[in-house]
Amino acid sequence: MSLRIGDDAPNFKARTTEGEIDFHQWLGNSWGILYSHPADYTPVCTTELGRTAQLKEDFAKRKTKVLAVSVDDLDSHYGWVKDINETQNCNVDFPIIADNDKNVATLYNMIHPNASTSATVRSVYFISPDKKVQAIITYPASTGRNFSEILRVVDSLKLTAEHNVATPVDWEDGQDVIIPPGVRQEDVEAKYPKGHRVIKPYLRYTPQPNK
C-alpha cells in the first residue's frame, strides 16, 4: 500500500554512512527530507547528492534534516561519496542509507514495478516533526530533481503549518500569501493584521505573516 499525504511516516532502523540510525529518533523535532536514488555511481544522483551537500546551510536554517537512500551497500556508498566530493566540489556529511534488503524502499513505495522491478524511482518525502508525510514528489530515474523547488516546498510547508494561509503559484519566501476560503471575510482583519486585498471573494491576499 502506497503512502499518501497525511499518513504516518514509517519508522525504520538502518545502517548509513554516518552510522546506525533509528529514523524517528534521528529526525527528532526537525523537519525531514527522505529521498531515494536508483543506484550508486549513477550520474544524475551524483549531481543531486552533491547539490544537497552544497545546500547544507540552507537546510540547516530551515531546521530540516536530509536523509538519502540507495539499495547498494555501505562499502559502495563510501566509494561513491569520494567521487561525489571530488566531482561536485562538496563534502557529503549527511546519511546515505544502505538499503540492501530494500526495506526502506518498500516501506516508502520507492520501487514502481512498471518502471523497474529492482531500482527505485526518484522519490522525495517531506516529513514534519510529528512524523507525518506532508508532501511527495516523484520523478523517473532519468530526471534530476530541482532543489530550488525542494527548498521552496519546505518553506511553504513550514509556513502553512504555523499560519492559516496558503501559498499561490510560483510563491517564494517573502511574497504575499493567500487567505484560505474557510476564513470568513468579517474575521479577516482580526486574523490578518498586516492587511489584505480582495481579487474575488474566494481569492484574497495578505502579506506573509512571519515577515
The enclosing domain of 43 has a CATH number of 3.40.30.10
Is the pLDDT at 118 greater than 70? The verdict is no
Longest CA span, the chain: 62
DSSP bridge partners of 127: 32, 133
- The count of structural domains within the chain is 2
Residues 95 and 172 in one domain: no
Within this chain, do residues 102 and 53 fall inside the same structural domain, yes or no?
A: yes
Shared domain for 118 and 178, answered yes or no, is no
7: in domain: no
Q: What is the pLDDT of residues 126-185, one digit of tens each?
A: 999 999 999 999 888 889 999 999 999 999 999 999 999 999 999 999 999 999 999 999
C-alpha 45/C-alpha 67 separation (Å) is 14
Claim to verify: residue 77 and residue 173 sit in the same structural domain: no
Structural domain boundaries enclosing 38: 13-145
3 state SS of 137: strand
Residue 174 lies inside a defined structural domain of this protein: yes
Do the beta carbons of residue 144 and residue 155 sit within 8 Å?
no
Is the same domain home to 126 and 49?
yes
User: Quick check: is 62 in a domain?
Assistant: yes
**Band of residue 71 on the pLDDT scale cut at 50, 70, 90:** confident
Residue 185 counted as domain residue:
yes
For the chain, the average pLDDT equals 93
Q: Does the active-site annotation cover 45? A: yes
Q: List the CATH number of the domain containing 190.
A: 3.30.1020.10
Give Cα separations from 109 to 52, 117, 123, 150 (angstroms). Answer: 22, 12, 9, 20
Residues 86 and 112 in one domain: yes
Residue 65's CB: how many other CB atoms inside 10 A?
18
* Cell 508532501 belongs to residue: 135
Specify the pLDDT at position 112: 63
3-class secondary structure, 171: coil
Same domain, 140 and 92: yes
Same domain? 107 vs 177? no
**CA 62 distance to own-chain centroid:** 12
For residues 29 and 110, membership in a common domain is answered with: yes
Mean pLDDT of 14-38: 96
Residue 188 inside a domain? The answer is: yes
Residue type at position 39 = A
- Is the same domain home to 141 and 66? yes
Catalytic residue (one of 34, 45, 84, 133):
45
Does residue 156 lie in a domain region? no
Q: Is residue 176 domain-shared with residue 126, that is, in the same domain?
A: no
pLDDT score for 37? 86
Q: Is residue 190 part of a domain?
A: yes
3-state DSSP assignment of residue 187: helix
Contact 18, 65 (CB under 8 A): no
Q: Which range has the worst mean pLDDT, 100-114, 118-132, 158-172?
A: 100-114
Per-residue pLDDT band for 1 (boundaries 50, 70, 90) equals low
Instruction: Evaluate if residue 111 carries a pLDDT over 80.
Output: no
Domain check: are 105 and 36 in the same one?
yes
Q: Under DSSP, is residue 161 helix (H, G, I), strand (E, B) or coil?
A: helix
CB 42 within 8 A of CB 10: no
